[in-house]
Every structure is written in C-alpha cells, then in structure tokens.
Amino acid sequence: MKSLAFISFLISGSIAFGQTSKVVVAPKPVVKQAAALPANSDQSVLFSYGGIKVTVGEFLSVYKKNNVGKQIDFSEKSLGDYLKLYENFKLKVAEGKAEKLDTLPALKNELVNYRKQLAKNYLMDKVVLEKMYKEAYNRSLYEVHVQHIMVKIASDAAPKDTAEAYKRIKDLYTKVTTGKEDFSATAKEFSDDPSAKTNGGDIGFITALQAFYPFENAAYSLTKPNEISKPFRTKVGYHIIKLIEKRSTRGQVQVQHILVSVAKAAKEEAVAEGKKRIDNLYAMLKGGKADFDVLAKDSSDDRVSAQNNGKLPWFGSGKMVQEFEDQAFKMKTKGDISEPFRTDYGFHIIKLLDKRLPDSYEKDKDDVRKNVDKDARADNAKEAFINSIKKEYKFTTNKINYEAYKATLDSTLLKSIFKANTVQNKSVLVSIDNKNYTVQDFAKYLESYQRVYRKNVNTSADIAEKAYPNWIDKICNDLAENKLEQKYPEFKTLMSEYADGIILFDITDKNVWSKAVSDTTGLKNYYNAHKEKYQWATRMDAVIFRCANVESAEKVKQMLNNNIAPDSIQKAMNRAETKGGVSFETGKYEKGNNKIIDMCNWVTGIQTVTTEKGIPCVVQVKNMINPSPKMLDEARGYVIADYQEQLETSWMNGLRAKYPIVEDEKVFKSLVK
C-alpha cells in the first residue's frame, strides 16, 4: 500500500500534482470561452479537458485544502499557477483511466484497504471520544502512587472460574479494609502479580494511558491516602488498589545516559569493578577530557542507546525504574551531568537534555488523540456508536428465536467442526434498516469464527453466547460503513481523491519516475547532451578523525606523522585499556558537504578543529583536487532528476494535445480577489 502521506502530497499539489521538480507547462495555447452560468456559481464550469468539465466548486475545494492553515491567496498569479497544476493533474488521471489503471486488481485492493482505514474515523461516537480525550488530558496533569493486589482470571474465562476469582478478591478486600491484614503483607502472600512478592504490590507512580482503563479509573477515583478501591476487573483479572499519594505531574524528561552494567545480585568484586569504571568515566567528563556523546557511544553498556550517543526517548513517571526517574527529574539545568548512581541494571551517569510540562489541551490534543485512539478505552466510543446505529436504523432482536436455536447446537461447534450448510432454520434473529438477519446468517458467522470463541468454554451454547453480541455489532458496523458515502459527502470525496492519487502515482511512475531510471540509453544520451551541467568544484581529499578528547587528538596526529594507516590508528586508540574513543571517515569533499571540512584551511597537511559540540577532530588533507567533469555514475542522481523533468515536459505536451483544455476566462476572473 502506498504511503497515505505521499498520496496526500499528490492530491494536495505539494509536489505539483506529480511534477518531479519545477513546474513545466507545455507552451500550447489554451482556448478561452465565455461563461454560460453566473461566474460566481460553484456549478460554473472553470475549464474542460477532452469534454470533461471541472467546476468552480471542485477547483476551489482542492485549492483551499492545499492552503489549509495559511491565509488563502486569491491573487490572479496564485490562482493561475495552481490552475495549471490542477489541469496537469486532471490530464494525467484521465490518461491513467484511459489506460484502464483503475480496473487493475492491485488498485482495487488498495482502495478497499484505504476505505477500511478511513472508515475507522467515522465509526465511533465523536462526542464520547472527545470526552475521553479531555479525561485523559486532565488525568495526565496528575500522577498517582498506588499499590495493588491482583487475582488473575482471563477475560473470557468460564463463569464458574470467574465466580471463584471474584470470591477470592472479595475475601482479600475484606481483610485489608477491616484492618485484619496489612495491604503490603497481603499483596506479598496472595497477589497473582509476581512482582508483589518483593514490592508488596507497590507499582510506583502512574499517570493517564499507562494502565488498563478500568485500573486507571479506579486509581483516579481514590482521593485520600490509604483509601482502598472496591474490587474491579481488567482483562487480566480482578484488582483492588490502595492510594499512597497523589501529586501534580512532573511532566516528561529527556536524557542521555552512560551505563556500566552490573547485575543486581553481582558479587562484591564485580560491583567494585563497575564502580571503578563509572567513576573513571565521570572523572573524564568533569575534567573536560571527554565529550558525553563520544563517551556514551564508545563506553556505555547500553548498546541500543549508545548507537544514538546514549540518548533516550522522552519519558515520564512509571516508564523507568524509580531510581533512574528520580535522578532525571531532580536535575534542573539543561546540560547538567549527574554523579554516578546505581539501579538494578548497574551504574549510570545522566546528562539532562530537556524537560517539559503538559501544555494546554488545545496544544496537546493531537498527541492525546493518538494515544487514546490506540488504547482499548476507545472501544467505549465504538460501543456508543453501535448503540446510536441501533437507534437510528430501528434495530430489534428476537431473543426467543435466539434461545431456541442456541438449544439446538451440538458438539460440532465446540469441536470447531461446525458447518453452516447443515442449518436450514430461517427464523429471524435481528432486524435493522428494514433488513432481516436469520439463524442461517448467524450460523455462517459461527462457522467462520468458531475457533476464535472456543477458549475457556464448556459447551457450544457458551460459544454462541460469546459470538452473538459480536455478530450484532458487526451487522451494525457493516451497515454504517456501507452508508458512509451516502451520509458523509467528504468521505466520498476523500475516496475519489485517493483513487485519483493512486492512478496519478502509477501513471507518473510509468512515464517519468521509473522510466528515467530504467531507460539507460535515454539517460546516457541525456547526460552526453548536457555534460557541461555536471561539474565538480574544487575538492579536498581528506581523512577525518573524531576524538574523545584533546589527548586522543594529539596521539592521532603523532601516529599520522608516523605514516600509520587510519584503520590501524582507530584500532590502537579504541583498545579497552585506552578508552581513546576515535572514529574516522575518508572522502573527497566539496565546500558545504561537511561541517568539519568547512572549518579547515584548504591546504594539504594535518589540522585540528573543534566542532560546535566541543568534539576535537583531526583532519589529514591528502590532496586538493581541481575542478573536473563528473562521470555519469558520479552525477547519476542529478542526471535522473533532470531527465525526469524532460520526460515530464514531453509527456505533458502530448497530453495537452490529446485532451484539449478549454478555460472560461470570465469564470476565472471572478475568482480573483
């Protein structure tokens, strides 16, 4: 499936409706004609191509969409430029349809997939969803420190097992609320959460969108320290929660870190060795003998973050181990470096990069929306939507017919060998939108999904009980989805635009993008005809060494003076006992290609420069290369782009000849403000 963002680019005109570089309009005159309808009417024809009419309303809709978030420019030049782009877009799509690209199975499948994705935004109750966005935001302003006790039970467990689990949690609730048992001790002894054996059920601070929605609801419903919630259920079991503390959020923090890994249960010798290593690294940082980026990259035992110079993603409370979080949040000033400290993972040094508190709801809404939409709590909005569909389209269900059919189910459903064609019963189970759904329809659903519902069931009737409400939801959802084009004009427009976007992509790829790459003869001929365009400026043939500190840089210079090869220098400097932290690269550089090279004097020899981040670098300038022509392979990217532009121009000339454009000048003038 093509990128939705890319298709949006094509539709909006952000890349000139498929142009690969600057806009090229064929120098073919456009026929002008007088307006037949009032010029200011949305139904007035702005232009036509090959007999196909494009109205003012259609053009302005796309023009405004392309300028969303900006003040729309209705000057003659802006409208005229965009009109040419839109004409080119329509011509390309017309050509794609003429070549029957819209009938290809791949395009049809892509449209089906896009429709399903787009439909999700319409198949929820927007009012309920907005309430959930605001609730999540408001809760994110606070953090709650809680303990919990859990009795594990699957969400689809059999009724008997569920009842037993509920009795267990009720008994534990009675113990901790009547003062008979201490909460921590009870959690250690009876909770099914394995971590409770050591932490007494204390899970630290949490905030919105970090726990199951029912768990979050229970946690935020508590208002006083030591208050205990009533038993509640999540998809993993029953819980009770005790509130320890509630506080305003600390927000989020971003840090770099260096880790010296030491196991939680390591022997004293290993701990001492780890402490010695972290202290040495800290001394290098505080003494200005090493850069944090280089040291984190070369010396940290967290090899994942080391690839990004020790940088970690933004995090808030509840995301890291407590000691790490507390150290990060107590740091005040960007660039501050913590003293070494220990967690269960080993010894750390932290550098503070940034902190942030929640912004206003309007500014944070997009991030909140993304997190809520992918959270299970969004199911509440789906449920509310289903209920609204039932009401709008007069949903009814016949419970008598359902119970009668359920009683006839044999063991084939429990064994997952049920066949719907054995069911001849046409009794009505559900009616909605003047359409009836029968026992036979439900049987087909059971056959398709019988394996899905067979976990934690004892009878075929249990499977039917699980499946029946989901079947009803599917009927309602399918009904609403099938009516989207009819009910929401903007949905219909988006589907049409996406279809045109796919056609545009494929036809342009065929005639311009891929053609320029695959047509090796044409590309070579274009290069030979325009060789003078592709020239190297003066270049520097050089080796760049990035060093951990000034001492390392001096050692590198000494070795270069002794004619030691770059890879040998790197190996010597990066031995475990030296911790020199040296990396290098070689190349031929023009001015503007590399920041370090731009800081150098353009003369042969060995130089030392320091980057903006304070990293000392040694540059060995081996030679200065005079300006010279680029070979085709050296200029291939530029040549392909220019050749694509030529192909685009030639193609557009042909399309404008094939689909003559007739513009209504009076209608166009009426748009100018």
> Domain boundaries in the chain?
1-122+488-529+630-673, 142-248, 252-356, 393-484, 535-629
pLDDT at 458: 87
Residues near 671 by Cβ (< 8 Å), separated by ≥ 6?
Answer: 56, 60, 74, 79
Q: Give the DSSP H/E element, type plus range, for residue 45.
A: strand 45-49
pLDDT at 548: 85
Whether the per-residue pLDDT at 641 is higher than 90: the answer is yes
pLDDT at 97: 96
pLDDT at 673: 87
pLDDT at 527: 96
pLDDT digits over 573-593, tens only? Answer: 887 555 567 899 999 999 999
pLDDT digits over 70-80, tens only? Answer: 788 999 999 99
Specify the DSSP class assigned to residue 340. P
Q: Between 579 and 399, where is the model more confident?
A: 399
Q: Are 645 and 21 in contact (CB under 8 A)?
A: yes
Whether the per-residue pLDDT at 29 is higher than 70: the answer is no
pLDDT at 407: 96
Backbone phi and psi for residue 483, each to the nearest 5 degrees, phi listed first: -100, 5
pLDDT at 653: 96
Distance CA 177, CA 181 (A): 8
Q: How confident is the model at residue 17 (pLDDT cuts 50, 70, 90)?
A: very low
Q: How confident is the model at residue 528 (pLDDT cuts 50, 70, 90)?
A: very high
**Region of poorest pLDDT, from 43-47, 65-69, 335-339:** 65-69
Q: Decide if 252-356 and 535-629 have a common fold.
A: yes
Q: How confident is the model at residue 39 (pLDDT cuts 50, 70, 90)?
A: low
Of the options 3.40.50.2020, 3.10.50.40, 3.30.70.270, 3.90.1150.10, the CATH number for the domain spanning 142-248: 3.10.50.40
Q: How confident is the model at residue 228 (pLDDT cuts 50, 70, 90)?
A: very high
Average pLDDT over residues 441-454: 94
Distance CA 479, CA 482 (A): 5
pLDDT digits over 177-205, tens only? Answer: 998 889 999 999 999 999 999 999 999 99
Sign of CA dihedral 548, 551, 557, 563: negative
Whether the per-residue pLDDT at 595 is higher than 70: the answer is yes
pLDDT at 32: 53
CATH code, residues 535-629: 3.10.50
pLDDT at 576: 55
Using DSSP's 3-state secondary structure scheme, residue 159 falls into: helix
Tell me the fold of 1-122+488-529+630-673: Triger factor/SurA peptide-binding fold (1.10.4030)
Of the options 3.10.129.10, 3.10.50.40, 3.20.20.80, 3.20.20.10, the CATH number for the domain spanning 252-356: 3.10.50.40
Tell me the pLDDT of the chain averaged across its residues. Answer: 90
CB atoms inside a 10 Å sphere around CB 398? 17
Q: Which residues of 46-62 are buried (b: 16+ CB within 10 A; e: fewer)?
A: bbbbeeeebbbebbbeb
pLDDT at 577: 54
The candidate with the shortest Cα–Cα distance to 295, out of 655, 82, 583, 91, is 583
